[in-house]
Amino acid sequence: MATIYDVAKESGFSVATVSKVFNRYSGVNDKTREKVLITARRIGYVPIQSAQTLVTKKSWLIGVIFKEDLNQGLIHPHFGGVLETFKLEMEKSGYDIIFINRNFSNQNMRYLEHCRYRNVDGALLASSTLPQEEALAIHHAGIKCVSVEKNYPKIPTVISTNHEGTMNALKYLYSLGHRRIGILNSPIGSLAGYERFEAYKMFLKKYNLPYDPNIVSICDTYTDEEGLIKAKELVNKSKNNLPTAIFAGYDKIAIILQSYLISIGISIPNDISIIGFDDIEIASISTPTLTTLRQYRAEIGRKAADLMKRQLNNEKIDTSEIFRIPTELIIRESTCRARIIERI
Amino acid sequence: MATIYDVAKESGFSVATVSKVFNRYSGVNDKTREKVLITARRIGYVPIQSAQTLVTKKSWLIGVIFKEDLNQGLIHPHFGGVLETFKLEMEKSGYDIIFINRNFSNQNMRYLEHCRYRNVDGALLASSTLPQEEALAIHHAGIKCVSVEKNYPKIPTVISTNHEGTMNALKYLYSLGHRRIGILNSPIGSLAGYERFEAYKMFLKKYNLPYDPNIVSICDTYTDEEGLIKAKELVNKSKNNLPTAIFAGYDKIAIILQSYLISIGISIPNDISIIGFDDIEIASISTPTLTTLRQYRAEIGRKAADLMKRQLNNEKIDTSEIFRIPTELIIRESTCRARIIERI
DNA sequence: TTGAAAGCGCTAACAC
DNA sequence: GTGTTAGCGCTTTCAA
């Protein structure tokens, strides 16, 4: 492979000059620059990143810490969508994306080790299981962080308006006449799950509706199996007095719930209305199609990339509040007006 | 950050010895090894990959060239699935995954340039639009390649048994009494599309059925819009004599076709049976659920990783034939016995 | 505007 | 078994 020395020799200038050309320094004669560039192209010179990194300490690499219960990884409909736009935006500025994992060694702090091993300039935290301690260690190592999942002190977070979204969903159900609204929620260990559940409780208070544990089920993990178990649990607990509507913490679980209810002879939405959260592709294809809160994944990814770039340019970022991306209520077939009988 | 010199100084040995310890050389005293390791852990030493790469020319990085019409990127249900397992398997052996893109400069051979810039040891070719010329340039640069999309000379390819799968699908339809079977195919520029279409034609010949261009539509791209256009075209061309069954080149387009047919009052499967290819998640959720050929994406990813690792270990790989992963016919609701009336 | 040279952190002869 | 040392390909003072 051609090195900077080859370009220097061939063009008749020194390596210092060639380096300056490639790093867009000002103090280079235009003719010199042109000659160097032509020579470089002719002999197929490409600067080697590892050599650059060694001296500049800048790798142009962004680590992605991306791991959840499901091990769905890249195909995860929500995070995969966020990541796609984040990646595109970072690539525009010359950064490449690399996945950080825990295979690196057998100690703790493995994510941090992996980050240092690869010298990443920044890290996108998109793991529902990354402990605060590890996140902060990465931050303190001088690696610029942005989170799109949990909220860590001093690290900017980009996430949907879970509270408002959930409120809107519940108000919509209320407007349809529903007064007995259950919840099948995502794990409250995740920020999204926590905020949605808090919104649920606040809604009940605000509208003077009783909190009935018999129509509340909360998952501990995001697996399909657990989703089904909790869906059944919810039905069993309330079988003498089923809710007329159920808010499901995310679309996947809404679909699981819907299928289960249909399988035991409950009609959706006539007997029970269902509302999800995410608006993943399946939501518009399932039967009935799912009323849900759309998350703007591309917007989240774009905002995260923006915050990342600004930090990489050493701008100060306000980390005192979470950056929110609005959600939108998408009304489809899984919700309808509560039957009058319910209100007697 | 602690360097190898710090470890050397602190432990009382030389950098050469420390290096040997970290590279698992044999000629190191056990006690020495232990002391070095303890010191390294104590001061938080992590070897810097860019320094290692500079001297060893090995980056432990695998580039993924992953791009298709749809720009779905990571969320692409087929390639995303393949990539996920590939990534996991490569990570087990110490390799990290990096995405190679064309933003690198403004010339041709941009993928190759990006590969060299990052010094990748191998490249997974998963792009439906990567020209042979560029693929071979990467191969000739000494970068180990595996393809999971197109077939390039001298580069091992892992792909599903498209021919047998399509044959099985069509035979199944035949066994249900269908004699007028249409096809709404993926672009034949892709290997998958080509092989499936060839299998279709061979099936007709084998079963002595006429080839009728009125029930054949082939997409030029993988976009949803094009899918719908070609679906309509197929129906329009054959509206006086509709097929009783249609083989769709991939699940997404099968769903689009199905929705369209239902929207114009055609009943699935009673009027027309539909069969897809992929078995993506939606296939089991759509209404009716989709009969389809399951592709074992994890198997493809695993086999690709295996071939990659073997090349990285300088094993010779037989590239004379394509490595095939079997498909499986998954029978669901979108297919049924042809009505007798059709056979009169 | 250009060039000489030191050094980034590591590996791998080679010498001891 | 262990240590010395010359690079790997690049950037960046500093001097010319």
DSSP B9-73: HHHTS-HHHHHHHHTT-S-S-HHHHHHHHHHHHHHT----HHHHHHHH----EEEEE---TT--G
Model pLDDT, residue B260: 95
Asked if A232 reaches chain B (Cβ–Cβ under 8 Å), the answer is: no
For chain A, give every domain's residue range: 1-38, 61-160+297-326, 162-295
- Kindly report the length of chain A: 344
Q: Can you name the CATH fold of B162-295?
A: Rossmann fold (3.40.50)
- Can you name the residues that pair with A329 across neighbouring β-strands? A293
Q: For residue A26, name the pLDDT band (cuts at 50, 70, 90).
A: confident
* B146 sits in which H/E element: strand B144-147
DSSP string, B308-328: HHHHHTT-----SS-EEE-EE
Using CA atoms, how far residue B95 sits from A104, A289, B120, in Å, is 10, 42, 10
- Residue recorded with tokens 């996430």: A159
Cα of first residue to Cα of last residue in chain A, in angstroms, is 82
- B1-38 and B61-160+297-326 in the same fold: no
Strands B96-100 and B245-248: unpaired
Mean of all residue pLDDT scores within chain A: 93
Mutate to test the interface with A, among B75, B108, B112 (most CBs of A within 10 A): B75
Nearest amino-acid residue to C12, taking CA and C1':
B16
Asked if A1 reaches chain B (Cβ–Cβ under 8 Å), the answer is: yes
Asked if B101 reaches chain A (Cβ–Cβ under 8 Å), the answer is: yes
**The tokens of B277 are what?**
């290819």
CA of A2 to C1' of D5 (A): 26
**Sheet architecture: strand order including B273-278:** B216-218, B181-185, B245-248, B273-278, B291-295, B327-330
Asked if A289 reaches chain B (Cβ–Cβ under 8 Å), the answer is: no
Mutual orientation of helices B4-11 and B30-43 as an angle, nearest 10°? 120
Using CA atoms, how far residue B277 sits from B75, B78, B292, B299, B302, in Å, is 18, 10, 5, 16, 20
Which of B75, B92, B287 has its CB closest to that of A287?
B287
- Residue recorded with tokens 């016995």: B337
pLDDT > 70: percent of chain A: 95
- A48 or B108, which is more confident? A48
Which of A50, A97, A116 has its CB closest to that of B99?
A97
pLDDT > 90: percent of chain B: 84
Using CA atoms, how far residue B326 sits from B77, B126, B295, in Å, is 18, 19, 7
Contact predicate B267/B287, CB 8 Å: no
Contact predicate A151/A157, CB 8 Å: yes
* B291 sits in which H/E element: strand B291-295
Model pLDDT, residue B124: 98
φ and ψ at A323, to 5 degrees? -80, 125
Weakest mean pLDDT among A315-324, B11-20, B65-74: B65-74
- Options 3.40.50.1950, 3.40.50.2300, 3.30.70.640, 3.90.79.10; CATH of B61-160+297-326: 3.40.50.2300
**Nucleotide closest in space to A11 (CA vs C1'):** C2
The 3-class SS string of B149-196 reads: CCCCCCCCEEEECHHHHHHHHHHHHHHCCCCCEEEEECCCCCHHHHHH
CATH 1.10.260.40 for domain A1-38 = yes
Mutate to test the interface with A, among B58, B118, B334 (most CBs of A within 10 A): B118
Model pLDDT, residue A27: 84
Query: In whole angstroms, how large is the CA radius of gyration of chain A?
Result: 26
Return d(Cα B320, Cα B340) in angstroms, integer. 47
| Segment B119-175, tens digit of pLDDT | 999 999 999 889 999 999 999 999 999 999 999 999 999 999 999 999 999 999 999
**The tokens of B25 are what?**
């050389």
| Segment A144-203, tens digit of pLDDT | 999 998 999 999 999 999 999 999 999 999 999 999 999 999 999 889 999 999 999 999
Model pLDDT, residue B108: 57
| Segment B302-342, tens digit of pLDDT | 999 999 999 999 999 999 889 999 999 999 999 999 986 54
Q: For residue B285, name the pLDDT band (cuts at 50, 70, 90).
A: confident
Nucleotides of D under 7 A from a protein CB: 1-5, 7-13
Q: Do B84 and A72 touch (CB under 8 A)?
A: yes
Q: Is the pLDDT of residue B105 over 60?
A: no
Using a cut of 0.85, tell me whether the model's pTM lies above it.
yes
Q: Do B74 and A83 touch (CB under 8 A)?
A: yes
Q: Do B54 and A49 touch (CB under 8 A)?
A: no
Q: Which of B122, B96, B101 is nearest to B111 (CA)?
A: B101
Asked if A282 reaches chain B (Cβ–Cβ under 8 Å), the answer is: yes
Contact predicate A66/A72, CB 8 Å: no
Residues 24-63 of B with CB under 8 A from A: 41, 46-51, 53-54, 59, 61
**Nucleotide closest in space to B28 (CA vs C1'):** D1
CB pairs under 8 A between A and B: 112
Q: Which chain A residues contact residue B96 at CB under 8 A?
A: 98-99, 101, 118
Q: Do A49 and B119 touch (CB under 8 A)?
A: yes
Return d(Cα B192, Cα B189) in angstroms, integer. 8
Return d(Cα B334, Cα B312) in angstroms, integer. 45
- A336 or B67, which is more confident? A336
Q: Is the pLDDT of residue B294 over 80?
A: yes
**The tokens of A37 are what?**
């560039």
Q: Do A117 and B49 touch (CB under 8 A)?
A: yes
Which of helix, strand or coil describes residue B330? Answer: strand
